[in-house]
Every structure is written in structure tokens, then in C-alpha cells.
Amino acid sequence: MKRWTSTVAVAAALTLGLAACSDPTADRPADTTVSWPAPTGRLDGVSLTIWAAQNSNTVPKKVIEGFQAATGASVEVVTIPDPYEQGIQTKVATGDKPDLAFWQPTASMLTAINARSNLQPLTDAPWLPAMAPQLRDITGLLDDTRYAALVTSPAVEGVYYNKEVFAAHGVTVPPRNFDEMVALARQLKAKGVTPFYEMGADRWATQWWVQVQLADAAKSGLWERINTGQEKFTDPTVLGAIKKYKALVDEGLFNPDIKTAKFEDQGAALLDGKAAMVVQVNSFFGQLQAKADTATLDKRIGFFPISPSGNVGTFIPDQSNALVAFATGDAKREAAARQLLAYWMGPGYPDFLADRNTVSLQTAVPDPAGVPQALRDVHAALPASVGSMQAQAVANPDLFLNLADMITGTTTPEQAAKATQDQFAQLAKAAGAPGF
Amino acid sequence: MWFLVPAFAILLVFFVLPTLFNFVYAFTDWSGFKSEINPVGFDNFADLASSGTLFSALRITVVYAALVAVFQNVFGFALAVLLERDTRLNRVARVFFLIPVLMSALAVGYLFQALLKPDGGVNQLIGAVARQPFDHAWLADNTWTIVVVALIHSWKWMGLSMLIYLAGLKTIPEDVMEAARIDGASRWRTFWAVRSPLLAPAVTFNVATALLGSMNGFDIVQATTGGGPARTTEILNIFIYRTFGQGLFAQATTMSLVLFLLVALMAFPVIHRLRKREEIL
């Protein structure tokens, strides 16, 4: 009898445990209409949490100051250590959610955080009519529902170059396409200059070299074909770009310490003229801004987008560019989170831009006076740019990791392409993409 | 027996259930991308077996664990022998070697990462002694970095091994030693023929904990190399962490199940063999 009761007790406890441990992020019905509170309405006693990464935790400083003063709410920024996206996904999977978070606003990353059940839709956001028309719907959407608010100009992959190095070697016009850039690199190398600088040890920038080569293919539907399994990373288009990158490294057009160089080394090298060019995104320029003032940057650093066919950029909105609002289940705080976004992109926007010294996304709000020219050039390249892998593919495989492995010499371009394709298929299958 | 219930309840919720779920979720398609969780049979295992990454991670994990087991025990044993006598200096030294055990593993990792950078303290020291600049990238060598990381792991934990070997040395009965001396055994002979065999239980504990503990290692590797260069130090837990972070929860669970089985498969024979050695006692 005793034995019987204890068996029942254990079984009951197990069932209870199983129920308790089921997925905490169960689906909730998507709201059809979203109400938007007035940006400066009172919110006394409401406290909001924003998750930010190490490189974005100071972004909202000015906005929060203004919002707290205007509404009486209290807003706390919590820094989630790098790797940021992994940390967030893990926390959200275990049921931990902030009110707002910085998040890469691309479809693949919105899928990765299960936007449909975890995020608030930002339909009919009040700031949308004020946005520059060509930037309004550039990103932040998943299946035609808006989940992310773009606050700064999305990053563009392109070439940052040292103007003084170019001038010293008689280069007056930046290269007009990828082949011209390689030809210029060979000239510079012959004169004893390190043409390109890559950060093999920090790995993540390796993918830009492949992605800029794919810009034209992306324009003609490369990612749609990859998304549906009609084309693979191992097919000639992507594999060819990987091989070209490897060939340029083998040719000696990069810094000799490519395997051990880090992000900071890359910034210092370009700023000091130890290298002529760096293929990078906006966060690289952010590093330069931390190292030098606008006058120095305008004098030394330039930017041009690049693709095989011409000066076409590849845009890649990143985590520091946008915010998402979480569906926490607390209606009052959810509304307050939307209100903060409305304040940010509304009354608080000019102060925010001035504090961050960055370009405006709204036609009626002018750029602050101190924005460096290179950043304006990056922003100007945006409307003509094509989407990156992150922006257009249904899943975001670790292409950079496989390329970094290839640079250290442990894998071949073919192996790097295959590893990327395998992982892409695995992620696409998990995301429920048809054909995988 | 009812007073055991709270303890068992805690054991159930925090140990039995998670382990059980580790088995259950490995056979599903649980991911961060959607809310439903469907059973998929052995799909995850088949996928993992077909991609080479799992096996390379497993191989790296075993190599890492073996290196740590050897280093940690050699260092711990040497320290215990050196610091065996209860002098004041030895007592102070023992405390100092025990401090790393109490330190946060991540702190140890970041400390060594800073020291071993090309322009870090270690190279500056070597450069100063050799009177020429020295910039070896200790943590960027495809072959030797795993050895360096295993050494760091062993450095952190050698104090614990030392403590257990010390305890082992202290329990050797004085009369056995005296008998050996009367029989005319040299100190060297006494050490190898009498004291070492009598340390068998300490060896069992130290080897088993070092080996199995480092198979579950994560923090030190994450802080020093993050699995690099070129994934040559990507032990299974780093791989699991990376997979989990991509939202592939089921695949990560499958891997941790594989790790669990691997540790179990290694633990039983290793402990069995070491216990066999103790039987001479």
C-alpha cells in the first residue's frame, strides 16, 4: 500500500513538473490593433527595463533622461554580455523578458527570437509618417508585421579608406568596382603599403568580404533562391566569392598578422595609415569616433560602397540600430514601452541625434552639425544598397566563423561553404522554412 | 522516512527532472523559432552524426580532459610532496596554492587571456629577460593552444589536488614507514614502493574528478579562447552553448545528452580501474 502511494506521488510530481517545464513562450494571439499613448503622458510609478549590449548600452542615455523627466517613469538599462544575441535568446527561452531590447531588426533575427509570440507588433507607429520614405520599410518587418523600431541609420558594408594614404600614392578617385579596388590594392602593395586590413582573431568581419562580392547576385534574387533551397552556399556564386577572398589573402594583399589581429588593431591601423582600406560596417566607424574627433576623421577617413558591378553597398541593420518591445503580458508596461519608443522617435529624437552625433532618419529633423562626412556617405549609400545575408536570408548561419577558420588555414573554401550550408539548412529547418 | 521528502523534492525538481528532460527534448524539434514542440525521433542524432562538428568537438573534449587530468595531478602531487612537512613556510605556501581554487573560473580565464596576449605580461617578461622583443601569440596556435588552456585549467585546480594528496600522505601510518626504514629501504625506494601505492584512493578521487570535471569544462575555455583559434579548443560545452544561442534548443539538448553519455561511459571504466588499484591496500 505504502509503495503504491509513493509511486502515485512520484508520478504526480513528474506530471506536475512536466507541465511546469513546458515552453514558457507559448503562442499568444497577435493583436490586430495597437494603441499608441501620447509620448509625454504621465507614467509615475512605472519602471521599464531595456536590455542592451556592451556597444549599445549608452545609446539610449539622452532619451531616457528626457523620458524620465517628461513622464515620471523610471527606465533602467541592463547590459547583457556578449555574445549578445545568444544571451538574449537563452534568457527569453527560459521565460525572462525585458520591456524593450536592442535587437537586429532583420527578418532572420526576428524569426530567431520568435517575434510572433514574444514581441509586441508596432503597427501604425506614430513616427512612421515622419520617416524618410525610402527608409520606412527597409527593415523591422516579419511577414508584413512591424516588430522593430529603427532608431539610427542601418549599417552598410563597404570600404573605409585612409584618405592620406590614397593621396600620398596619387589616388584621387576611389575605385568604382571590386576589380578596380583589387587592382589598386596591387599597386599599393607594390609601393610597400598594406592594402587591406582584416581582423582574423575577432572573426566577425570576415563575412563582409564575401557579402560585398554577392551584392549584385543579391539584387537578382540570390537569397530568395538560397531560402528555397534552389541554390546553395556550395554553388559557384557564393563559393566563388569565398575562393576570391581566400585568393586575395594568399596573394598577400592583407596585413601579415591577419590571423591574430583584433577589431581594435584594425581601427588603429586604418587611422594611423598603416593600412589603406578596411571592409567594414558602421560599428567600425564608431570605434574610430571613439579614437578621434570629427575634424580628424573628416581629414583622414573616407567611405565608398563596393560591389563587383559598381559602388553598391550592402546594408545590414544591426543590434544597435533598432529596438523591439516585448509582449510581457503586463498591459500597462507594454503600453509604457510603446510610449517610450514614441517619445524616442518623436519629441526626444533631435536630442538623441545630437547626443549620438549621428544622421537623422526623419525628413523634418536635420542632421546634427558634427556628423562626420564618412557617416553621411554611408547613409547616402543606403537607398541604393541591397540587403545582406542577415537582412534577406531566412536564417543566419555562422559564415564569419567558417571564413575565419579558413583564414587560419584549417579549412578550405569548399569546407567553409559546406559547413555554412549545413548550418543554414539546420536553422532553416528549425525555423520551418519550406524545402528544408 | 517522511523527513526525507523535502530533500527528495529538491533533488527531483532540480536534478531528476532536468536530466529527464535532457532525454525527452533530444527527441523533439524544440527551437527558439516557434512555440510548438513536436517529436522527431532520432533526427537530431542523425543530423549530428552526419556533420563532422560533433565528432571533432568530442575529440577535442576528450583530449582536453586527458591533458587536464595529467597536468592537474602531476602539479598537485608535486606540490603535495614539496609542501608535506608542516613548517610555517609550507603552511603559507599551501594557502597561496589554494587561492586559485577559490577564484572565479572566468576571472582566471580573463586574467590569463590578458597575460598571454601578444603584447601581454608574459611576452613582456620574456622580452625583458631575452633582451629582444617577443610577441608569440600563445592563444592563437592551432596545435598548442589547447595545451595552454589545459595548463590554465590545471593551474586553477591544482591546489585542490594538492590538498587531497596531502591528506593522503598524512594518513600513511608511521609504523609502515618505520618498517621500511628498518628493512633498509632508501628514501627513494620508500617513496615509490610504499608511499605512492598507499596514495591510491587519493589518485582515484583526483584523476576521476579532474577528468570528468574538465569534460564538463566551459568557463575557462570560454574566457581564454572562446573555442578559437579555428575551433581547435571548441570543447563540447562551447559547441552546445553556441548551438543553444542560435535557438536550436533541441540540437543543443541532444549534444548535452551525448556529453552525459560520454561522461558516464568514461567514468565507469576509469573509476573501476582506479578502484582495482586500491585493492592491494
3-state secondary structure A292-359: CCHHHHHHHEEEECCCCCCCCCEEECCHHHEEEEECCCCHHHHHHHHHHHHHHCCCCHHHHHHHHCCC
Rounded Cα–Cα distance for residues A288 and A300 (Å): 11
Asked if A7 is an interface residue toward chain B (Cβ–Cβ < 8 A), one would say no
A426:B248 CB<8 A: yes
Query: For residue range B210-241, what is the model confidence (pLDDT) as tens digits?
Result: 998 898 899 999 999 888 787 889 999 998 98
- List of chain B residues whose C-beta atoms are within 8 Å of the C-beta of residue A410: 142, 230-232
A317 contacts A37 by C-beta, under 8 angstroms: no
Residue B19 placed within a domain: no
Residue among B33, B228, B249 whose CB faces A431 most closely: B33
Angle between helices B249-278 and B43-50 (to 10 degrees): 80
Instruction: Read off the pLDDT of each residue in A34-49 and give the average, rounded to a whole number.
Output: 88
pLDDT recorded at residue B280: 65
From the CA of A334, how many Å to the nearest CA of chain B?
21
Residue B25 placed within a domain: no
Question: What are the backbone angles phi and psi of residue A76, rounded to the nearest 5°?
Answer: -120, 135
Cell of A8: 502515485
DSSP tag of B78: H
A85:B245 CB<8 A: yes
B94 contacts B87 by C-beta, under 8 angstroms: no
B277 contacts B200 by C-beta, under 8 angstroms: yes
pLDDT recorded at residue A85: 86
Beta strands in A184-253 (DSSP E): 194-196
A136 contacts A152 by C-beta, under 8 angstroms: no
| B248-to-A49, A428, B217 alpha-carbon distances in Å | 26, 10, 21
Query: For residue range A326-346, what is the model confidence (pLDDT) as tens digits?
Result: 999 999 899 999 999 999 999
pLDDT recorded at residue B278: 81
* A133 — pLDDT class (breaks 50, 70, 90): confident
pLDDT recorded at residue A82: 74
Residue B85 placed within a domain: yes
Q: Which of A2, A5, A23 to mutate to test the interface with B (most CBs of B within 10 A)?
A: A23
Cell of A370: 558634427
A176 contacts A310 by C-beta, under 8 angstroms: yes
| A210-to-A108, A242, B168 alpha-carbon distances in Å | 19, 6, 59
pLDDT recorded at residue A55: 77
pLDDT recorded at residue B108: 94
Cell of A100: 524593450
Query: For residue range B177-191, what is the model confidence (pLDDT) as tens digits?
Result: 899 989 998 989 988
A286 contacts B167 by C-beta, under 8 angstroms: no
Residue A101 φ/ψ region, left for φ over 0, alpha for ψ in the -120 to 50 degree band, beta for the rest: beta
A147-151, B130-134, B167-171, B276-280: least confidently modelled range: B276-280
Cell of B112: 590569463
Burial-class residue A156 by CB neighbours within 10 Å (0-12, 13-18, 19+).
Answer: buried
Query: For residue range B16-40, what is the model confidence (pLDDT) as tens digits?
Result: 998 888 889 999 988 877 778 889 8
Residue B23 placed within a domain: no
Scanning every residue of chain B, which has its alpha carbon at the shortest distance from the alpha carbon of A18?
B17
B32:A89 CB<8 A: yes
pLDDT recorded at residue A4: 53
pLDDT recorded at residue A26: 47
Q: For residue A413, give the H/E element and its range.
A: helix A413-430
A102 contacts A56 by C-beta, under 8 angstroms: yes
CATH architecture of A31-153+318-362: 3-Layer(aba) Sandwich (3.40)
The residues facing A157 across adjacent strands are: A314
Q: Which of A402, A405, A436 to mutate to test the interface with B (most CBs of B within 10 A)?
A: A405
Structural domain boundaries in chain A: 31-153+318-362, 155-316+387-430
First to last CA, chain B: 37
Question: Which residues form the domain of B224?
Answer: 51-278
Q: In this model, does residue A84 exceed pLDDT 90?
A: no
Residue among B30, B51, B247 whose CB faces A112 most closely: B247
Cell of A405: 577558420
> B84-103 burial, b for 16+ CB within 10 Å, e for fewer?
eeeeeeeeeebeebeebeee
Percent of chain A with pLDDT over 70: 93
Asked if B132 is an interface residue toward chain A (Cβ–Cβ < 8 A), one would say no
* A25 — pLDDT class (breaks 50, 70, 90): very low
pLDDT recorded at residue A1: 44
How many CB atoms neighbour CB A182 within 10 A?
17
Asked if A432 is an interface residue toward chain B (Cβ–Cβ < 8 A), one would say yes
Q: Between residues 133 and 172 of chain B, which touch chain A (CB distance below 8 Å)? A: 137, 140, 142
Q: ipTM greater than 0.95, yes or no?
A: no
Q: In this model, does residue A302 exceed pLDDT 90?
A: yes
> B227-239 burial, b for 16+ CB within 10 Å, e for fewer?
bbbbbbbbbbbbb
Match 507559448 to its residue by C-alpha cell: A26
B242:A86 CB<8 A: yes
- List of chain B residues whose C-beta atoms are within 8 Å of the C-beta of residue A113: 32, 247
Q: Which fold has domain A155-316+387-430?
A: D-Maltodextrin-Binding Protein; domain 2 (3.40.190)
Asked if B253 is an interface residue toward chain A (Cβ–Cβ < 8 A), one would say no
Residue B17 placed within a domain: no
Of the candidates A249, A240, A219, the residue with the CA atom closest to the CA atom of residue A388: A219
A93:B17 CB<8 A: no
Asked if A419 is an interface residue toward chain B (Cβ–Cβ < 8 A), one would say yes
Query: For residue range A352-390, what is the model confidence (pLDDT) as tens digits?
Result: 999 988 899 998 999 998 899 999 999 999 989 999 998
Q: In this model, does residue A6 exceed pLDDT 70?
A: no
From the CA of B92, how many Å to the nearest CA of chain A?
37
Residue A285 φ/ψ region, left for φ over 0, alpha for ψ in the -120 to 50 degree band, beta for the rest: alpha
Rounded Cα–Cα distance for residues A39 and B108 (Å): 47
Residue among B9, B33, B228 whose CB faces A430 most closely: B33
pLDDT recorded at residue A269: 95
Asked if A203 is an interface residue toward chain B (Cβ–Cβ < 8 A), one would say yes
- List of chain A residues whose C-beta atoms are within 8 Å of the C-beta of residue B53: 419
Query: For residue range A239-293, what is the model confidence (pLDDT) as tens digits?
Result: 999 999 999 999 999 999 898 888 889 999 999 999 999 999 988 998 898 899 9
Asked if A110 is an interface residue toward chain B (Cβ–Cβ < 8 A), one would say no
* A17 — pLDDT class (breaks 50, 70, 90): very low
Burial-class residue A109 by CB neighbours within 10 Å (0-12, 13-18, 19+).
Answer: buried
Residue count of chain A, please give it.
436
From the CA of A404, how many Å to the nearest CA of chain B?
7
CATH number, residue B70: 1.10.3720.10
Asked if the domains A31-153+318-362 and A155-316+387-430 are classified in one and the same CATH topology, the answer is yes
Residue among A85, A113, A117 whose CB faces B35 most closely: A117
Burial-class residue A123 by CB neighbours within 10 Å (0-12, 13-18, 19+).
Answer: middle
First to last CA, chain A: 53
Residue B73 placed within a domain: yes
How many domains are there within chain B?
A: 1
Q: In this model, does residue A10 exceed pLDDT 70?
A: no
pLDDT recorded at residue A27: 47
How many CB atoms neighbour CB A62 within 10 A?
17
Asked if A201 is an interface residue toward chain B (Cβ–Cβ < 8 A), one would say yes
B208 contacts B267 by C-beta, under 8 angstroms: yes
Is beta strand A74-79 parallel, antiparallel or unpaired with respect to A47-52?
parallel
Match 523559432 to its residue by C-alpha cell: B33
pLDDT recorded at residue B225: 87
Q: What is the DSSP string of A143-200?
A: TTEE-EEE-SPPEEEEEEEEHHHHHHTT--S--SSHHHHHHHHHHHHHTT-EEE---T
